[in-house]
Amino acid sequence: MNKKLMNVMFCIICLVLTFAISMQIKTVESTNSKVSHDITENKLRDEVLKWKQRYDSISNSIKSREKELENIRKKTTENDTTAIAMEEQLEKINALLGLTDVKGKGVIVTLDDNKTIDPNKVISIDPYLIHDTNILKVVNELKAAGAEAISVNELRITSMTSITCVGPVVRINGERVAAPYTIKAIGFPESLMSLNMPGGLIQALKSQGKMVEIKKENNIEIYKYDGIITKEFMQYLD
């Protein structure tokens, strides 16, 4: 075998070895990257679970203290007619503010995206989706129709509630919620059903291609607002 041929074969062997070593390094790096990603993901999942457990524990503790406080209030006012009247007034105020669980008859409105539309057959799918403005209009019309308590996906609507769009979901009371949106309203059912009158809001939403349903209910439960109400600029008059 001449020297030239040996050099060619040596070069080929070097190229093969270089390629093999390169592939091995990429495989090791890919494996390490996947293992690192899995470890990070597991750590994040564990951390989220820990915070959720802490939140649930604190939330349950608060509810327990609230029940104890309620029992103390009842015991201290059971023999005082003035205190009883004040306690009843406080309960009414808290109910109107959204700080008390309430129940009663009213209506339930369900808003959902139109999932039957083929995105390839329309110019834009946007008109067939439920937006924050749609929810806000329904809430405002329910208030105008005499609703005494309203919730959206179990989140209590208060005077401080904001309903804003956050990408494909909606943020209510600082929490992200997605369609379908179940809006509960307690009040005189016949008045609240005015939303479904010809030419009304419900019919308008349906004509836009959105999925909308409204029905009367005799026993609706709406939970209290569990956030913190703060005031920064409001002051009491002397």
| Res 124 pLDDT > 70 | yes
Per-residue H/E/C for 133-178: HHHHHHHHHHHHCCCCEEEECCEECCCCCCEEEECCEEEECCEEEC
Cα angle value 223/229/235 (rounded, 5°):
140
Question: Can you tell me which residue has the tokens 């990429």?
Answer: 26
Predicted pLDDT at 227 = 79
Tell me if residue 72 falls in helix, strand or coil: helix
Q: What does the pLDDT read at residue 235?
A: 78
Higher pLDDT pick, 13 / 10: 13
Q: What is the pLDDT of residues 162-193, one digit of tens each?
A: 999 988 899 999 899 999 999 999 999 999 99
Per-residue pLDDT, 206: 95
pTM: 0.67
Compute the mean pLDDT over every residue in the chain, rounded to the nearest whole number. Answer: 83
pLDDT at position 9 over 90: no
Mean pLDDT of 113-131: 89
| Whether pLDDT at 22 is above 60 | yes
Amino acid 121 reads K
Q: Could you give the CA distance from residue 206 to residue 214 in angstroms, rounded to a whole number?
A: 11
Integer Cα distance of 188 and 176 in angstroms: 30
Reported confidence tier of residue 8, pLDDT bands at 50, 70, 90: low
Is the pLDDT at 222 greater than 80, yes or no? Answer: yes
Specify the CATH superfamily of domain 100-222.
Protein of unknown function DUF881 (3.30.70.1880)
113 band by pLDDT with thresholds 50, 70 and 90: very high
pLDDT at 92 over 90: no
Answer whether 148's CB lies under 8 Å from 222's CB: no
- Alpha helices, DSSP H, located in the chain: 3-77, 81-97, 132-144, 189-192, 201-207
Tell whether the model's pLDDT for residue 34 goes beyond 60: no
What single DSSP character describes residue 24?
H
Q: For residue 208, give the DSSP letter.
A: T
Listed by start position, the domains of the chain span 64-97, 100-222
Residue with tokens 């339930």: 108
Q: What is the pLDDT at residue 31? A: 61
